Amino acid sequence: MNTTPLNDVPSLQVEAGVATITLQRPALRNSLNNQDLQCLLDHFAAINHNPEVRVVVLRAHTQDMPRPVFSAGYHVAGLDADASAPNFFQTVPDALARLRPITICALNGSVYGGATDVVLACDLVLAQQGMEWRMPACAIGLHYYPSGLQRYVQKMGLNLSQRAFLLGLALPYEQLQACGLFQALVDESSFDAHLHQLVQQVLGLAPLAVQATKQSLIDVAFDAADPAVLQAREAMSQRSADFAEGRLAMQERRRPLFQGR
């Protein structure tokens, strides 16, 4: 097990192919300052350079909070101190969306502001019932950055994105689940069990194929797909030892043992 504790900045723990990043400033509703953002970028770089990591879980410390908050977004004091802060914030969800492993957001509290885009940048989201989602950008006079708007519309659709931005009202998770935003919406008592099951499902897939397919799906969704690149990824998977093992395991009626090669 490899653990990186950094006071109250986001922590990184790597164990058995799973990297867990935890937001851990509950006294400030897990809001993110510039130090946190840089720490997250450093964690992302470390994860991408560790071929053993196949799943990334992003979660938040919400124990002892009267009402759990996954993250309140960018710490507002930073907006007063640095006019370029929104541009720096954008680098985090953009980098998160490009991570090599499959990313899972363990959304165990309400989420606000820029942190909503961090959630949208994850591949899969497991959410806890009874929480809320709010995007107050227009309420504080801010036009949101382009990649964040694109993720909103791609993940939530135009109508729900308009409701989130143009009204600035809190949206209950139950309403967001209706548009398929979450992999599942579960109660607090079963949250960790569902998270474990979701992680194991991803770990059971062929690493090369699932990571390449993740990137291809994103390319297609954002109109950035090059057919030649997609075909090259397909050919790579067909030549892989994992594909040979997958076919053999199917014939032998057993669970495949993928090596990521």
Q: CATH number of the domain that 81 lies in?
A: 3.90.226.10
Asked if residue 198 and residue 71 are part of one domain, the reply reads yes
Q: Is 65 exposed, middle or buried (0-12, 13-18, 19+ CB in 10 A)?
A: middle
Domain membership of residue 261 (yes or no) is: no
Q: Which residue has tokens 């006071």?
A: 7
pLDDT for the residue numbered 77: 62
- Find out whether 33 and 89 touch, Cβ atoms under 8 Å: no
Which pLDDT value is given to residue 3? 46
Q: 99 and 224: one domain?
A: no
List pLDDT tens digits, range 192-202.
Answer: 999 999 999 99
- For the whole prediction, is pTM greater than 0.75? yes
- The pLDDT of residue 81 is 54
How high is the pLDDT of residue 5?
A: 42
Residue 257 lies in a domain: no
Residues 139 and 247 in one domain: no
What's the CA gap between 16 and 52, in Å, rounded? Answer: 8
For residue 155, being part of any structural domain is answered with yes
Please give the pLDDT value at position 212: 93
Total domains present in the chain: 2
pLDDT at position 124, please? 97
What residues of the chain score a pLDDT lower than 50? 1-6
Q: What is the pLDDT of residue 82?
A: 57
Among 188, 203, 218, give the residue marking a domain's end. 203
Same domain? 138 vs 240: no
Same domain, 110 and 153: yes
Same domain, 42 and 11: yes
Domain limits for position 225: 207-251
Residues 196 and 213 reside in one and the same domain: no
Quick one: pLDDT at residue 139?
A: 92
Residues 162 and 233 grouped into a single domain: no
Residues 197 and 212 in one domain: no
Q: b/e string for 213-237 if b means 16 or more Cβ within 10 A?
A: bbebeeeeeeeeeeeeebeebeeeb
pLDDT of residue 6: 42
Res 261: pLDDT: 83
Single-letter amino acid, residue 155? K
Looking at 163, 178, 203, the residue that finishes a domain is: 203
Whether residues 12 and 47 share a domain: the answer is yes
**DSSP result, 104-173:** EEEE-SEEETTHHHHHHTSSEEEEETT-EEE--TGGGT-PPPHHHHHHHHHHH-HHHHHHHHHH---EEH
